[in-house]
Structure 1
Amino acid sequence: MKKYRGIIVVVCIVALVIGGLATGTYFLLKPRFIASKTTNLLFEEPSGLSEKQANVVVAEVNEEKVLYEDFFSQLYPYFKQTSYSFNITEDNVNSEENKEIIKNLKIEILDSIIKQRLALQKAAEQGFTLTDEYIENATEQMITAVSQEMENRDISGESGRDYKQEAVETIEAEAAAYGIETEEYYREYAQYLLITDFLEHITKDVEVTEEDIQKYYDEQLNAQQSNPSQLDYADVQLVKIAGTMVKHILIALPQEEQQEYRNLMNQGKEEEAETYLQEKLEVLKPKAQEVLDKVNNGEDFEELLEQYGEDLGMKREEYKDGYFVTGNGEYISSFEEASLALKEGEVSGLVAGSFGYHIIKAYEIVEGGPYTFEEKREEIKVFLDNQEKAFFVDKKMKEWEEASKITKYENRL
């Protein structure tokens, strides 16, 4: 049971992590999702640009013009994110600090567009073009990706939901929030996919050697064993973390009682909070004991979990095999202690906590220790190949830029 159990369903329109090229092609694939005289325009939608302003040329890439409207349509969503992060408002936008932030953001976005245009030009030279059929297929991919993400994250238990229609509505709302037409939004996504296809094509033969893979394993295994605290952040985890895979049936306290307990704790009234919690748990105990009796009488744990379990997290796809408990404080202490004390296949008694009562079953005990080279060879190869492809693309982009005629008009931004 995680300490903070509130679930925020974030629907990512699309995550463009294509075969590990994301790092090397950040500026090429960067989609929306995720004090000059034009400063105030930043607080208006792209559709609010005048025709004169929209047609100002801000860059040229091999004689292809980049117009202000193209630049601003990509700048706008990033400025919204930046202004929120740095608390930039119309009242303080002209401070020296904020002007510098905005200036750097504008240059970054312009450079991003130049790289996109250059990549599209090079793609066209090799037959990668943005046809109506390609846009149509990309549109369908986008809708499918969003609808699947919605379905995977849906823990409401509702039946008959039209995820595809909800996905279309979500995409339309996203486009409207950015001040552009939905069709243009789909077209931009198709453009990102086209660049991705092209980059995958030119890097298809880029790969590392067997010696590179072995060297990575040896060096990283030593580093991870020397510093176990970094295991969670390792690109390829070479040391198993000891822990227990568990599932649990939560007999939950009512939400208002959970909230009252949290309120008391937040006010520093710990003793009062604990007294309150114990009183409410005592009322709930007969219900929890009834479920535990069913478990102890041999009824199927999975069926009882489905019937009585009130932890919505257990219904999420990412936790279909259970929670992996390591004792690192990710879950409330009573839950962790009880989970780690179980033998494989064993079921706990009633475990009290701030969410209610937990009935926990241990599904697998994982012993800590290093993975063998063979166990991790393919994962290391994929990681290193992707890294090498990213380096290749960065190098190729520099070559294209040096061989191209690129003019930037930063004073027009």
Structure 2
Amino acid sequence: MKKLSLLILIAFLLNLVVGCELISKTPEGEAKTVVAKVNGEKITKGEFDKLFQSQIVQYEMMYGEGFASKPENADMIKSLKEDILTQMINEKLIIQKANELKVVPDDKTIETEVNKLYDDAVKQAGGEDKFKSTLETFKMTVDDFKKYMSNRVIIEKVYDEVVKDVTVTDDELIKYYNENMYDYTEKPNKMNVSHILVEDEATAKKVLDEINKGAKFEDVAKKYSTDPGSKDNGGNLGDIYYNDDNYDKTFMTNAIALPVGKISPIVKTQFGYHIIKVNKKEEYKLKPFEQVKDQVKEVVLENKKTDKINETFTNWEKEAKITKYTDRL
């Protein structure tokens, strides 16, 4: 009898568990599933799915229908889900801070600003019908859009509050001007550059020796260079602007200093060892500081504001109690 009672109890518990599972897997239950908590406030699967599905539409526009279901894209989809969840957590945290800082506008102000943003979006889309059609394409409603814009308005107020005391000095402006002078020439300075890239210094010395003995730079580049983008062109990288941040700083400094037609000594960068040749240059005068001071101030002030908001948000994040349930996404 004891064994029988135990079996009945186990069967009852199993049925209870299965029943709970069935309930939790209904669409309504799934939507209410908590995927993250921010200081006790929940983010649900339903909220997450709205953003995720909208993003998937964009991915399928770029990469083709069924992109998300292809096994080879699983890692990208996983990364996308994590990024969206992080975005939602960050937004939730900032909205919480808006309430703490008492910068949340009243409902009427928010409604006015959101309606203006909505009207601007409608105008840009070419009419309300077209805009609503676009929202439908991205699986959004007008209410979804307005809720998103409402949060944008509040987040903007938080940003303004955090950076309200940020200022810049003339010394900071002059320092930035001197360090970024190629942004302030009468016309953009540029040069046509060739290079030979090799992995080790011994090979670089061999390359330089062959060039110094009369070998053509282009022929040596085709023979030795490991840069697939320029090797077949005799090492030619094309025209490069002096303020192009896409190139290694050490490489750029040496190329800018090199006279036209001359061959550089060996230049070591994070990518390896270079021999550089500048084929042509177009250089223009530097505008006086006073002439561009307002432009410089705008850039430096914006950079300092960005640093301030990033520092502040990092501190908020450290202090917050954040829990993620990525296995539920």
- In the alignment, what sits opposite 1:386? 302
Does residue 230 in structure 1 map to residue 206 in structure 2? no
- In the alignment, what sits opposite 2:94? 119
- In the alignment, what sits opposite 1:93? 69
Secondary structure of 2:168's partner? coil
> Which one has more relative contact order, counting CA pairs under 8 Å at least 6 apart?
1
Can you give the 5+ residue segments of structure 2 that lack an aligned partner in the other structure? 1-25, 191-239, 246-282
- In the alignment, what sits opposite 1:190? 150
Match of 2:132 among 163, 172, 189: 172
Specify the structure having the higher radius of gyration (Cα): 2
CA distance in 1, matches of 2:164, 2:285: 35
**Superposed, which structure 2 residues align to 1:211-226 within 5 Å?**
211-222=171-182
- In the alignment, what sits opposite 1:370? 286
CA distance in 2, matches of 1:222, 1:371: 10
CA shift in 2, pair 1:133/1:223, >3 Å: closer
Deviation at residue 118 of structure 1 after TM alignment: 0.2
Secondary structure of 2:35's partner? strand
CA distance in 2, matches of 1:136, 1:223: 41
Deviation at residue 75 of structure 1 after TM alignment: 1.6
**Superposed, which structure 2 residues align to 1:354-369 within 5 Å?**
369=285
**Superposed, which structure 2 residues align to 1:104-115 within 5 Å?**
104-115=79-90
Query: Retained in 2: the 8 A contact 1:63–1:405?
Result: yes
CA distance in 1, matches of 2:65, 2:74: 10
Query: Retained in 2: the 8 A contact 1:171–1:182?
Result: no
**Superposed, which structure 2 residues align to 1:307-386 within 5 Å?**
369-386=285-302
What is the Cα-based RMSD across aligned positions, in Å? 2.8
Bigger proportion of residues as helix: 2
CA distance in 2, matches of 1:75, 1:147: 23
Query: Retained in 2: the 8 A contact 1:59–1:65?
Result: yes
Amino acid at match of 1:99: A
Can you give the 5+ residue segments of structure 1 that lack an aligned partner in the other structure? 1-48, 151-162, 235-366
Secondary structure of 2:69's partner? coil
Does residue 410 in structure 1 map to residue 326 in structure 2? yes
Query: Retained in 2: the 8 A contact 1:135–1:187?
Result: no
CA shift in 2, pair 1:74/1:148, >3 Å: same
Query: Retained in 1: the 8 A contact 2:182–2:286?
Result: no
CA distance in 2, matches of 1:376, 1:148: 35
CA shift in 2, pair 1:388/1:205, >3 Å: same
CA distance in 1, matches of 2:308, 2:118: 31
Aligned length: 216
- In the alignment, what sits opposite 1:247? none
CA shift in 2, pair 1:222/1:368, >3 Å: closer
Amino acid at match of 1:394: N
CA distance in 2, matches of 1:80, 1:405: 32
Query: Retained in 2: the 8 A contact 1:75–1:109?
Result: yes
Deviation at residue 147 of structure 1 after TM alignment: 5.6
Secondary structure of 1:180's partner? coil
TM-score of the pair, normalised by structure 1: 0.47
Deviation at residue 88 of structure 1 after TM alignment: 6.2
